[in-house]
């Protein structure tokens, strides 16, 4: 793990492996870390330079006070791209990281060359009533459950078949969680969720002119939100891709929310096909 200091009191931890003419920049999801991309990087680093970051407040990055909005995270990624002197990286985001990647593409379109979104948040619409219900359930769940239990439950539910694949992630994230001030951790999680709900990108997707690959697992248990929406990951994906100028949707069979771990080979194949321009 390496570190770089950015403006606004931000010290970012990151992994940087492989060489190549193209750079892939990976962004993790809510309360996660760079190593969630390890399986992908282990293979893709043969062909590309692969960089995965711990977002501010996550993993080994700083634990300073930030507003943890999607805009804040997108600006942090933008500052990272500038500080690292990356030329047109391909930005790859998972879940909340997908929401951040879309926000970056809308705000700073020239800072990246292509966009790859794995089970992205941000394509699902939430009404005012949806938000009110969501906020009340967050507080209820928080009251009824420990952070560690919530984290473990969420990650295990993110896999369709191979729940054991999440065990090493849970172990790492619980260890990281124990380094936090608990109030800081809760505030960060709630601020991130609020950011995803209050900063929608769906109505701005037509502003993204970049070639964009969207992938969803057919059995994603987190998107759409089952409590609020009777729809499917495929419908969410189709609706989002229709709004993109150059979007393509790939549905991954027998797969949940963590598609980059559960179906690493298939996800890597789609990434390479997009980058090398092969049909399919």
* Distance separating alpha carbons of residues 37 and 54, to the nearest angstrom: 11
20, 22, 28, 29: CA torsion to nearest 10: -160
Asked if residue 126 lies in contact with residue 228, where contact means CB atoms within 8 angstroms, the answer is yes
- Strand 23-27 relative to strand 10-17, pairing: unpaired
In 3D space, the residue among 237, 209, 10 whose CA is nearest the CA of residue 108 turns out to be 209
Name the one residue in this structure whose structure tokens are 């928080």. Answer: 142
> What's residue 149's pLDDT?
64
Cα 173 off chain centre by: 16
Spatial separation of the C-alpha atoms in residues 160 and 253, rounded to whole Å: 10
Which secondary-structure segment (H or E) carries 10?
A: strand 10-17
Within a 13 Å sphere around the CA of 97, how many CA atoms are in the beta-carbon half? 32
The 3-state DSSP class for residue 266 equals helix
C-alpha angle 55/26/193, rounded to 5°? 45
Phi, psi angles (nearest 5°) of residue 82: -65, -45
Spans of the chain below 70 pLDDT? 9, 130, 133-166, 224-229, 278-280
Main-chain dihedrals φ then ψ at residue 215, nearest 5 degrees: -125, 135
Residue 90: count of CB within 10 angstroms of its CB: 21
d(CA 24, CA 15): 11
What 8-state DSSP symbol labels residue 179?
Answer: T
Q: Counting beta carbons within 10 angstroms of the beta carbon of residue 181, is it exposed (0 to 12), middle (13 to 18) or buried (19 or more)? A: exposed
pLDDT tens, position by position, 57-112: 999 999 888 899 999 999 999 999 999 999 999 999 999 999 999 999 999 999 99
Tell me the C-alpha distance between 121 and 139, whole Å: 21
- φ/ψ of 20, rounded to 5, equals 160, 170
User: In the prediction, which pLDDT does 238 show?
Assistant: 95
What CA–CA distance (Å, rounded) separates 253 from 92? 20
Q: Considering only CA atoms, which of 109, 140, 134 is closest in space to residue 207?
A: 109
- Supply the angle between the helices 182-198 and 70-83 in degrees, to the nearest 10: 100
The pLDDT value recorded for residue 143 is 41
b (16+ CB within 10 A) / e for 141-152: eeeeeebeeebb
Query: What pLDDT, on a 0 to 100 scale, did the predictor assign at position 44?
Result: 97
């Amino acid at each position: 793990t390496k570190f770089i200091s950015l403006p606004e009191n931000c010290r970012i931890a990151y992994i940087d492996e492989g060489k190549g003419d193209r750079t892939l920049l990976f962004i993790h999801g809510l309360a996660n870390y760079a190593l969630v991309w390890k399986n992908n990087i282990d293979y893709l680093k043969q062909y590309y330079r692969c960089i995965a970051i711990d977002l501010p407040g996550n993993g080994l990055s700083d634990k300073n006070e930030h507003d943890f909005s999607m805009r804040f995270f997108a600006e942090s990624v933008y500052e990272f791209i500038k500080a690292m002197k990356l030329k047109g990286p391909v930005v790859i985001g998972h879940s909340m990281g997908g929401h951040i990647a879309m926000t970056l593409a809308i705000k700073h379109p020239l800072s990246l060359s292509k966009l790859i979104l794995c089970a992205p948040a941000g394509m699902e619409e939430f009404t005012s009533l949806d938000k009110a219900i969501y906020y009340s359930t967050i507080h209820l769940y928080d009251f009824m459950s420990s952070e560690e239990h919530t984290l473990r439950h969420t990650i295990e539910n993110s896999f369709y078949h191979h729940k054991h694949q999440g065990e090493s992630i849970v172990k790492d994230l619980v260890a990281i969680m124990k380094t936090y001030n608990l109030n800081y951790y809760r505030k960060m999680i709630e601020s991130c969720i609020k950011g995803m709900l209050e900063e929608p990108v769906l109505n701005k997707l037509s502003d993204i002119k970049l070639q964009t690959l969207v992938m969803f697992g057919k059995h994603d248990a987190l998107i759409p939100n089952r409590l609020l929406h009777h729809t499917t990951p495929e419908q969410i994906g189709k609706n989002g891709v229709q709004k993109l100028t150059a979007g393509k949707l790939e549905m991954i069979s027998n797969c949940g929310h963590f598609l980059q771990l559960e179906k690493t080979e298939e996800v890597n194949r789609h990434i390479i096909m997009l980058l090398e321009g092969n049909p399919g």
